[in-house]
Amino acid sequence: MNIRYFEKDRIFKIDTDHVSYVMAVMDDQQFLEHVYFGRRLGDSDLRYLLRHQEPPFLASQNPGDRGKVLLVMQHELPGELTGDHREGAVTVRTQAGHTALQPYYVSHRIYRGKESLPGLPATFGSEEGTMSLEITLEDPVIHVRFLLTYSVFEDTDAVMRSMRIINDGGQPVRVEKALSLSTDMGCADGDQRPWRLLTLDGMWVRERHMNYREIGYGFQGVSSNRGETSHQEQPFLGLVSPSATQHAGEVYGFHLIYSGNFRGQVERDAYDALRVTLGINPDRFSFVLQPGESFQAPEGVMVYSREGLGGMTHTFHDLYRNHLIRGIWRDKKRPVLINNWEATYFDFDNEKLLAIAREAKECGIEMLVMDDGWFGKRDLDVSGLGDWVVNENKIRGGLKKLVDEVNALGLKFGIWFEPEMISPDSDLYRAHPDWAIRVPDREPCQMRNQYVLDLSRKEVRDTVYDMVAAVLRSANIEYLKWDMNRTLTDFGSAALGAENQDELCHRYCLGLYEMQDRLTRDFPHILFENCSGGGARFDPGMLYYSPQIWCSDDMDPVERLMIQEGTSLLYPLSTMGAHVCVVPNHVVGRVTSFATRANVALAGTFGYELDITKISEEERAAIPNQVALYHKYNDLIRRGDYYRIASYRENHLYDCYEVVSKDRTEALITYVQVLNVPDDRSRILRIPGLDPDREYAVTVEHTGFTAPEEDRTVTLPVGPRARMRGDALMYAGLPMPDFRGDFRSALIHLEEV
């Protein structure tokens, strides 16, 4: 880890253990140019890589054609309308209505540590293990400064970047675009490396599916204008070389630490060069800066891997585990919980909850979570949101009585909230109809029979927070699920003037962050899980406030294979909320074995979402063993390196992934056979990440029934407890079980002997 400025060559060089990021100041124009981002380089003058140094682009030899220079230059912060016709990263409109902008280098500083971003989540690190570079640029015509900050940590290859915009002029200006990341990827090798674009797309109950496409000329990318990162898109762009695999080849990953509207875009120009931009969506965004005021854009993450997708994944996982997730639960095993939602929906009372709790305790489950329906007038989803007061017709004797009874059984207690929402049929809405986001004189759009509260307003945040906090203080609550079940529409705030209405979405996001930051500071002992109708707000911004996020409302294990594959491409397994569901599954109606449901859920936080009083005796008898396996392997799953071995998304037959301990002494392989084909041969898979010189014991763990009959036992062709060398497992492979009976999946444990 090092950041240096070579004054003679006017080059900035940012180094991690395996990556270099290089910029230069153009001698005659003071432009800040992007030079290189990729595999670590030695210290040499890389100015020869700058395209404008070549005729006919040499500015000193052709001063009357500056546009050609700007057209091919690799800008570090591209402005707009001054000669570079590609997408700009920043737009500032003056009082006169002009948006032409050209930032010039002014100064820089290099320092130990990393400063926080006001009001925004961001990565953090110790002063001794972190270095930062702040570069000041300025447009001298409109008197606006831009502070670009780059940071690196000694234990990761990621490069972080953020931007702050400061109005130094005497008149207000309007920021209309502030993209956190902008990287020009120069062409090399003729075509020049025909990168594929990788995105994570989907919808409700089908989030974060991996999607590849060829990068054509012009614009392509992802975006959200829904007020949240959304079920449909993830604030991520990947550039994947044609030959890249899970374990080899070049991959770039760009990720935004933000939870609101975003846009990520790749532009391929006529020279086959690429410009990658990622930041707040300019659609429905502007921010007025009075003289002396500033705007802070979110932080972006840039990752380069020459070890394929897996290398990128390891960098993101380590970065988020060590430098984004906070609090006492970051490194702790989470309690195994059971949630009553799919067991009871709104139809529950004390006795139903206690009956679930009693059975759960007998099976080794550690926490009961009470979901939607405990507050206000809330027997269906048509009323009650905003009235965060316990409904004692349903929870008789009050919440403390119920929690005490659950605690007396030996279980912890958790609770569900949806603090951002308000029902038209609620006391809060009747008292404050103007607190809902809406456009005057228009009937606002309802979704799930609810509106969205205007969190840009302090009085709204304070009122709702006080109600939530009062409930949390009233009883021994040790887990909170924060949900958001609809998107934003009808963008209008009664508290903002006409010139500020386009600030609403960003101010809403800042208000959300303020509430969650306050919550985690006031209740640091509570395990906090974010959720948005499933996985609509599974983003790095939320990880700053909660160590786990509900992955999807679809808990069918086959659907989860693809959802969790895409999610785990960027996010540690410890962040993925995953439960064992009932069958037929409530979303897709599929019937899968109890063992497969558990095996897939063990890749996440692990819990149960079913009525444990109504499942079969056989399934109930299997739960203690599943819970025991969670406790046995969760440290490995939570802390280890994740490897993708095979993808059901690609082969349509089976799925396989692995977690390996950092010291390579232990590994856990999850194999799921989704579909059998006639006369299929035994499948042999190579197992990555091991030490080739060590010997490993190979054991199959049973997550199905406590005493399986002979024909239900999963066995390996190599024997019930084989010993194999690491090199044999890595290069020759491990035969997978034959799934001809009831079992369709297996956990295979490798341990050094």
Integer-rounded Cα radius of gyration of the chain: 27
- Using CA atoms, how far residue 660 sits from 418, 444, 507, 547, 670, in Å, is 37, 51, 42, 21, 12
Question: Scanning the structure block, which residue is given the tokens 């702790």?
Answer: 332
List the one residue out of 256, 199, 226 whose CA is nearest residue 485: 226
Contact 251, 240 (CB under 8 A): yes
Helix (H, G, I), strand (E, B) or coil at 358: helix
Mark whether 553 is an active-site residue.
yes
List the one residue out of 289, 275, 290, 198 whose CA is nearest residue 240: 198
- For residue 401 the two structure tokens come to 């009585």
- Strands 173-178, 159-167: pairing is unpaired
- Other Cβ atoms less than 10 A from the Cβ of 653: the count is 15
Contact 637, 566 (CB under 8 A): no
Query: What backbone phi and psi angles, to 5 degrees, belong to 530?
Result: -85, 155
- Sequence-ordered strand ranges (E) for 533-665: 548-550, 576-577, 580-581, 607-609, 641-646, 654-660
Q: Is 75 exposed, middle or buried (0-12, 13-18, 19+ CB in 10 A)?
A: buried
Helix (H, G, I), strand (E, B) or coil at 474: helix
**Distance (Å, whole) CA 344 – CA 347:** 5
Q: Which of 84, 318, 387, 483 is catalytic?
A: 483
Contact 329, 527 (CB under 8 A): yes
List the one residue out of 533, 528, 583 whose CA is nearest residue 553: 533
Q: Which of 371, 425, 553, 554 is catalytic?
A: 553
Helix (H, G, I), strand (E, B) or coil at 109: strand
- Strands 11-15, 19-25: pairing is antiparallel
- For residue 328 the two structure tokens come to 């006492």
The half-sphere exposure of 702 on its side-chain side, counting CA atoms within 13 A, is 17
Query: What backbone phi and psi angles, to 5 degrees, belong to 687?
Result: -110, 110
At 677, the amino acid letter reads V
The set of residues, in sequence order, having a beta carbon less than 8 Å from that of 145 and lying 6+ positions away, is 106, 136, 137, 138, 165, 166, 168
Cα of 376 vs its chain's centroid, Å: 33
Question: Scanning the structure block, which residue is given the tokens 């394929």?
Answer: 308
Torsion of CA 242, 244, 249, 253, to 10 degrees: 90
List the one residue out of 246, 533, 241, 259 whose CA is nearest residue 416: 533
**Distance (Å, whole) CA 479 – CA 413:** 7
Contact 245, 308 (CB under 8 A): yes
Contact 224, 234 (CB under 8 A): no
**Distance (Å, whole) CA 296 – CA 226:** 21
User: Annotated catalytic sites, by residue?
Assistant: 483, 553
